[in-house]
Amino acid sequence: SLTMAAATSELRVDHLPSDPLLHILSFLGFRDLIHCSYASRRLNELSKHNPLWKSLCSKHWLADRLQSGVSWYCLFKQYYRDLGRYIQYYPVLKRAWEQLKSFLQQRCPRMIASLKEGATEVELNDIEAQIGCRLPDDYRCSYRIHNGQKLVIATEVELMGSMSLSNHYRSEVLLDVETAAGGFQQRKGMRRCLPLTFCFHTGLSQYMALEPAEGRRMFESFYPCPDQTAQDPSAIDMFITGSCFLEWFTTYVHNVVTGEYPIIRDQIFRYVHDKGCVATTDDITVSVSTSFLPELSSVHPPHFFFTYRIRIEMSSGASPEAACQLDSRYWKITTSDGNVEEVQGPGVVGEFPVMTPGKVHEYSSCTTFSTPSEYMEGHYTFHRLANKEEVFHVAIPRFHMVCPPFREPVVRTVKAAIILLHSELKI
C-alpha cells in the first residue's frame, strides 16, 4: 500500500499524454483556457494548441479562415481586443446579419447596397458623449457590423419593412447612428429616446428607450402614439415592439429569412401568417396573413387599424370544368369584448376574379376595431363558368388580428390614480 501511495504521489499532470489533456481542454471556455495556461509550463503550451482556438474563433467570432502567418490563438486575441466587450452578442448578431444579407442577395439586392460599413468604437463613444446617454452593448455590437443604411429616398431599399394600401404607404429604413443621434429626443413625453427607424413617407419612427423614464422600460423598442384625448402633449402611449435591441432585430431577421414576412415587388412586407390559417374547399385554398399599422392606430381613443392579405388559389390538378368566378363575400367579425358583426357584399375590393386550374389571386384590404384583438371568418360565393346555376361556398379560415402590447404614459396613470383617490375620499 505504501508503494501504491508513493506511485500515486508521483503522478503529475506533466506526465500525462497530450491527447487526453487536449481533449479535456477542448471543453473549456476561452477564459478558463487562459487560466489553465498559468498553472504550469506544460498546460501553457497545450492551452495554445491551434485546434482549440480554431473552435473558439468559430464559436465567438464566426471566423473560419486563417490569415497567412497568424495562429488561431493570435486571431482570437485580435478579435477580442477589438470586440471583446460584445462577445455575448457578436455571434448572434453577426449570424443574423449574414443570414439577412444572404437572403436579400437573392431577393432584394438593392437593400444590401444601401448598408453602411460598421461604425468604429471611437465613433460610438463620440455619439454617447453627444447625447449624454449610454448606448446598450447589443446596439453597439450590431452597429460595429453595419452602421444602418444610407439615407436614400428610393423604393426597394427600406430594410425594416414596408406596407402599402390604396392611399397609404409606409417603408422604414434602419437609421445610421449619426442620424439617430440627430433625432435623439429630450422633450417631455419622449425623454431619452433614440430613433431606430424612419419612414420618409409618414415620418414614423420606432424608438429605443435609453433610460427607464415616463413609463418606459430600459432599452425596450416602441412606436410612440400620442394620446388624442389628453390635453397634455407629453401624454404619449407606446406600442411595444421589443424588450431590447437584440430581440427586436433578430426576431425581425428571423421573420424575413424564414419567409414569415413575404417579399412583394422587391420589398419586405410585415404581414404575419399563422400556419394554421388555411382552408381548402374542393380545389380552392384560401390563406390569410395580417398586419397591424401603428401609424394609423391609437390607444386613446381606442382605434386599432389592421390590414389583411388573402391568397386564393385553385389547384393545378383541378379539371377545366372546375373553373369558376367569385361573386360575393361574407364576413363574421368577433371582437374581444364579444360583439359580433356580419358583413356581406359583392366581389372583393371591386373585383370578381375568375379562378382556373393553377391560378392564384391575391388582394389586400383593411379594417379598424375599437378593441385590441378580434377575429374574422367567413366564405366566398362562387359560380361555375360552365354552369352559372351551380353556386357554392368557399370557406375563409378564421384569422386573428392582435395589436402588439401597449403601455400608457406615467402622466396618464398618475392622473388616473389621483382621480381614483379623490373619488375614494369623497366616499
pLDDT tens-digit readout, 35-94: 999 988 899 999 999 999 999 999 999 998 887 888 999 999 999 999 999 999 999 999
301 cis-preceded (ω within 30 degrees of 0): yes
Predicted confidence at residue 14, as pLDDT, reads: 73
Chain centroid to CA 80: 28
pLDDT at 418 over 50: no
- The residue that leads in pLDDT, 221 or 201, is 221
pLDDT band at 275 (very low <50, low <70, confident <90, very high): confident
pLDDT band at 357 (very low <50, low <70, confident <90, very high): very high
Of 93, 68, 90, the C-alpha closest to 79 is 90
Of 313, 312, 296, the C-alpha closest to 364 is 312
Q: Which neighbouring-strand residues pair with 268?
A: 263
Q: Give the chain's domains with CATH numbers.
A: 14-84 (1.20.1280.50), 91-252 (3.40.1580.10), 271-407 (2.60.40.1470)
Predicted confidence at residue 67, as pLDDT, reads: 79
Q: Which neighbouring-strand residues pair with 172?
A: 199
Predicted confidence at residue 183, as pLDDT, reads: 96
Least confident of 22-26, 40-44, 91-95, 150-154: 150-154
Predicted confidence at residue 167, as pLDDT, reads: 82
How far apart are the two ends of the chain, measured CA to CA in Å? 89
Cα Dmax for the chain: 104
pLDDT at 141 over 60: yes
Contacts of 18 (CB under 8 A, 6+ apart): 46
Predicted confidence at residue 2, as pLDDT, reads: 44
Rounded distance between C-alpha atoms, residue 346 and residue 327, angstroms = 6
SS3 217: coil
Rounded distance between C-alpha atoms, residue 415 and residue 180, angstroms = 32
Query: Considering Cα of 210, then 212, then 216, then 219, what sign does the dihedral take?
Result: positive
**C-alpha cell, 74:** 493570435
3-state SS, one letter per residue, for 36-52: HCCCCHHHHHHCCCHHH
pLDDT at 274 over 90: no
pLDDT band at 427 (very low <50, low <70, confident <90, very high): low
Predicted confidence at residue 10, as pLDDT, reads: 64
**C-alpha cell, 359:** 391560378
Of 82, 78, 31, 73, the C-alpha closest to 49 is 73
**Contact of 225 with 297, CB cutoff 8 Å:** yes
Question: DSSP string of 81-133?
Answer: HHHGGGTTTHHHHHHHHHHHHHHHHHH-HHHHHTEEEPPPHHHHHHHHHHHTS
pLDDT in tens, 172-183: 999 999 999 999
Beta strands in 181-321 (DSSP E): 193-195, 197-199, 207-209, 221-226, 236-242, 263-264, 267-268, 272-281, 284-292, 304-314
Query: Considering Cα of 304, then 333, then 261, then 220, what sign does the dihedral take?
Result: positive
Contacts of 349 (CB under 8 A, 6+ apart): 363, 364, 365
Q: Which DSSP category does 320 fall into?
A: G
Mean predicted lDDT score pLDDT of the chain? 91
